[in-house]
Amino acid sequence: MKKKLKLGLFGFGCVGQGLYHVLHETHGVKAEIKKICVKSHDKKRPIDASFFTWNPSDILNDPEIDVVVELIDDAHAAFKIVKTALENGKHVVTANKKMLAEHLQEIYDLQQKYDRSVLYEGAVCGSIPILRNLEEYYDNDMITSIEGIFNGSTNYILTKVFEERQSYIEALKAAQDLGFAESDPSLDVEGYDPKFKLTIAIAHTFGVFVKPENIINVGIQKISAVDLKYARENNLTIKLVARAYKINGNIYGFVAPQFIPADHMLANVRNEYNAVLVEGAFAEKQVFIGKGAGSYPTGSAVLSDISALTFDYRYEYKKFTQGDALPFSNNAFVDVIVSFPDGTLISNRDFESFKGGYQGKGYQYLQGTVSLERLKEWSQWDDVSVILAPILNLTGANQIQNTERLSA
Ligand SMILES: NC(=O)c1ccc[n+]([C@@H]2O[C@H](COP(=O)([O-])OP(=O)(O)OC[C@H]3O[C@@H](n4cnc5c(N)ncnc54)[C@H](OP(=O)(O)O)[C@@H]3O)[C@@H](O)[C@H]2O)c1
């Protein structure tokens, strides 16, 4: 017999209201919202005022509340809420990828210490049920890679800029109006948000807790009209891809934009849709596609976690507890295409191996293999745009001078 859960909700913005809606539209989930804690006193709320409080303790210290649902946009405050909730014997559901990525090991330890569950499917690729699949379905499969489009708002922006020739600013504004963008949009466009999701995915895929600051992220903010023209002329599109691989005893992971051939699985993942490609030694390649952002899609993932708590579900972090976790490394090479105005200090000698390039209309294009560190360095230079070369072989890897080569 499923229990009826009493929920204390933090945050009533895009996702909080989405959860409220989907909870009231479905009849199968035995849960009801008792209180909602918000920040601002003077905002007009779409539901009865009696639901709301501004005092976290009205939820955290209410013995009747079984589950704290944390849906606020402040990672620092969110961690305090999650920690106190666990200390007070409550289960937690959260969609806060920044908070999770920054504190994942600690949150794992707190779950063990207080024997309570923290579920966070909505934090990774919105409505796509990837974490529970990684935990349960792929338990015995040897996963070799996980990669894909992990950020709905940048995918929306890239789609509008590429297909409808909207300006970057116009497309970002539309993504914000539709509720896909983070409150701080630099988290999306600079590739931090997909990096946070990748951090969480790496823990559930490979059993490794990596600090997000150790994962390289390159965003879409430097992609220029010249890059878009290059893509159109070569039957390519551009996607922001998060990826992690297990190769020769190491785990590698990074986020960067990539030229994607028109016939590649990721090419037709458009707008706010996300896609996750999982490759296993036995199951081989599988793809999950779904809405990665937005009020109802994310609300439905949060609801699914609440539903899972009615039958006492918890993540077992099996790949971590199995104890054969591999080290995380950035010591890898990738193929890139770098574009920059004439006079910028990049030459063919800066590549590990140089493949070619051309010059025209005050711009230069160079293609070749560089280290991940060099990719990161160039991505921080003014006027330089660095994009991974089209995918030729998703899993291929060769040993070069004791360093891994990821074939991008
Ligand atoms: N939007 C998406 O598509 C999406 C998808 C996946 C995950 N997420 C994650 O879900 C979370 C919420 O995102 P959102 O888009 O719903 O944000 P949002 O629309 O900006 O809403 C944030 C809510 O949090 C409340 N809040 C902020 N600080 C608070 C505090 N210290 N105590 C209590 N309430 C506080 C705000 O209160 P007021 O109403 O008083 O301002 C507001 O109701 C974030 O972690 C985000 O990364 C979002």
Average pLDDT, consecutive stretches of 10 residues, N- to C-terminus, the chain (408 residues): 86 97 93 98 94 98 98 97 98 98 98 98 96 90 93 95 90 89 87 98 96 97 90 95 92 96 94 96 92 94 97 94 87 92 88 89 90 94 94 40 47
Could you tell me if the CB of 294 is within 6 A of ligand 1? Answer: yes
Q: What is the pTM of this model?
A: 0.95
Q: Which of 197, 222, 239, 291 is catalytic?
A: 197
Q: What is the pLDDT of residues 257-306, one digit of tens each?
A: 999 999 999 999 999 999 999 999 888 899 999 999 899 999 999 999 99
79 CA from centroid of ligand 1 (Å): 13
Residue among 71, 150, 156, 182 whose CB has most ligand 1 atoms within 8 A, to mutate: 71
Could you tell me if the CB of 126 is within 6 A of ligand 1? Answer: yes
Residue among 12, 33, 37, 39 whose CB has most ligand 1 atoms within 8 A, to mutate: 39
The residue nearest atom 5 of ligand 1, judged by CA position, is 293
262 CA from centroid of ligand 1 (Å): 36
First to last CA, the chain: 50
Would you tell me the crossing angle of helices 152-163 and 168-177 to the nearest 10 degrees? 140
Residue 201 to residue 36: CA distance in whole angstroms = 29
195 CA from centroid of ligand 1 (Å): 19
Distance of CA 380 to the CA centre of its chain: 21
Please give the backbone phi and psi of residue 158, each rounded to the nearest 5 degrees, phi first: -60, -35
> Environment class of residue 352 by beta-carbon count within 10 Å: exposed (0-12), middle (13-18) or buried (19+)?
middle
- Annotated catalytic, 197? yes
Residue 191 to residue 202: CA distance in whole angstroms = 16
- Which residues have a Cβ under 8 Å from the Cβ of 299 and sit 6 or more positions away? 15, 17, 18, 19, 20, 21, 22, 23, 122
